[in-house]
Structure 1
Amino acid sequence: NKISVRAGVCDGFIGNRILATYRTAADHMVLDGASPYQIDKALVDFGFAMGPFAVADLAGLDIGWATRKRKAATRHAAERVPTYPDKICEAGNFGQKTGKGFYVYEASTRGGVPNPEVPELIDAERAERGITPRDFTDAEIVRRYMAAMVNEAAKLLGEGIAKRPLDVDMVLLFGYGFPRYWGGPMKWADLQGLPALLADIERYATEDAWFWQPAPLLKQLVAEGRTFDDLNKDAAR
């Protein structure tokens, strides 16, 4: 009773490569002024069962910590990688399994409450980096998170790692808790309108050109007045 999707070979295949990108978008918003708890709430309100920081606690913060250390030697100089999550781990706090991470978990309760130590670590890192925090609306949080997801998915499609936008939707729907009533991230993108989404990505790129490089396929679809669903139909012929 599994849903199978063919994937090409790359770091993270389809799902984890996209996950790493939208999680990075969340990390950047935290550095720039949002709180992990506002982000989690905004994405739960959008339809996810859990936000990315609650998910990280559930999976174990030591997993992300190990990945960051593994990739440090080959990291591009322009990449923005926060260090405060490392400090959470260095204190022995790995999420639910240790009782503390982004949230604090009591044995007798379901779920957690925000860890008061985390905002202090974030504030210290912002000060160290010279970042003046700004406010984010919930709508902006969702838009950036989803734009990162769709942009990375479009890169995967352009590279042939995923054959069809529908395959990406299936991976995110059945493997990553994407809210089903949106139909998947590629369907969501079509519903929002690809020209407006590309315009937002290009605007975000003025702040961080390395992370927000628009996917060539997304630019091509907008130039041709086509959608991701058009690619699904092409593949079905």
Structure 2
Amino acid sequence: MGPFTLQDMAGGIELTWRLRQASGAIDPIGDALYEQGRLGLQSGRGYYRYEAGDRRPLPDPEVEAIIDSARQTGGVARTDPDAAEITDRMVLPMINEAAKILAENIVDRPSDIDLVWNAGFGWPRDRGGITWFADRLGAHAIVTRLRELKAAHGDHFEPAPLLVEMAERGQGFADLHRTAEEPASAG
């Protein structure tokens, strides 16, 4: 199930609208859906449309028009990214966030992050977790690609300082694992 189907199923359109109202955030697409009463499955239409008695999401030309209008208003060019581009734009920020979480000492070690990804988010077990997967890609390649994405799409793709440091040292998340488990020196 994708994120927009999930929002339709769980009442996410109204919830995120209320959060935006409280925070002052703006989402032209989400706001338009809410204002048009497109609250998801319960109203028969949200990001998708739903036939009576059927929970299957169906594409909706009205939503495509809302998205196209927001795109044009925001001056965003329509693109047709390939699967690799989509994967990079979705997965690399998650890897970047893992580095931030570690740097902020929110977790003790990379395996803690992988556990959450496997058990909580349904990350495919054959990919070992987000930090294990990142180590297969290599920190240098990730930082290089994040910088390319930043140049094309903005600061959202700014590489985390820890990730840059890992790339410069030729390290991966697994190297941080060993460091976190080493006993403190008795000096």
TM-score category (smaller protein): 0.7 to 0.9
Q: Which residue of 2 aligns with 1:31?
A: none
Q: Which residue of 2 aligns with 1:135?
A: 80
**Which structure 2 residues correspond to residues 30-109 of structure 1 after superposition, within 5 A?**
50-60=1-11, 61-72=13-24, 82-109=27-54
Aligned-residue Cα RMSD (Å) equals: 1.8
CA distance in 2, matches of 1:58, 1:169: 27
* Closer, same or farther: CA 111–234 of 1 in aligned 2, 3 Å: farther
* Closer, same or farther: CA 178–107 of 1 in aligned 2, 3 Å: farther
**Which structure 2 residues correspond to residues 202-217 of structure 1 after superposition, within 5 A?**
202-217=147-162
* Closer, same or farther: CA 232–149 of 1 in aligned 2, 3 Å: same
| TM, length-normalised to structure 2 | 0.87
CA distance in 2, matches of 1:59, 1:178: 21
* Alpha-carbon shift at residue 144 of structure 1 (Å): 0.9
Alpha-carbon displacement from aligned partner over 1:64-123 (angstroms, at most 9, x marks no partner) = 222223332xx6xxxxx6411211111222222332211222343343112221110011
| Percent identical residues | 37
CA distance in 2, matches of 1:220, 1:180: 27
Structure with the greater alpha carbon radius of gyration: 2
Q: Aligned pairs, how many? A: 181
**Which structure 2 residues correspond to residues 10-29 of structure 1 after superposition, within 5 A?**
none
Unaligned runs of 5+ in 2: 183-187
* Alpha-carbon shift at residue 145 of structure 1 (Å): 0.2
**Which structure 2 residues correspond to residues 75-224 of structure 1 after superposition, within 5 A?**
82-224=27-169
CA distance in 1, matches of 2:156, 2:58: 31
CA distance in 1, matches of 2:8, 2:179: 40
* Closer, same or farther: CA 130–209 of 1 in aligned 2, 3 Å: closer
Structure with more contact order per residue of length (Cα contacts < 8 Å, sep ≥ 6): 1
The AA in structure 1 aligned to 2:91 is M
Contact 2:96 2:163 in 1 (8 A): yes
CA distance in 1, matches of 2:14, 2:128: 32
The AA in structure 2 aligned to 1:56 is Q
Is the deviation greater in 140-149 or in 188-197?
Answer: 188-197
CA distance in 2, matches of 1:63, 1:176: 20
Secondary structure at the aligned position of 1:206 is classed as helix
CA distance in 1, matches of 2:117, 2:144: 24
Q: Which residue of 2 aligns with 1:9?
A: none
| TM, length-normalised to structure 1 | 0.70
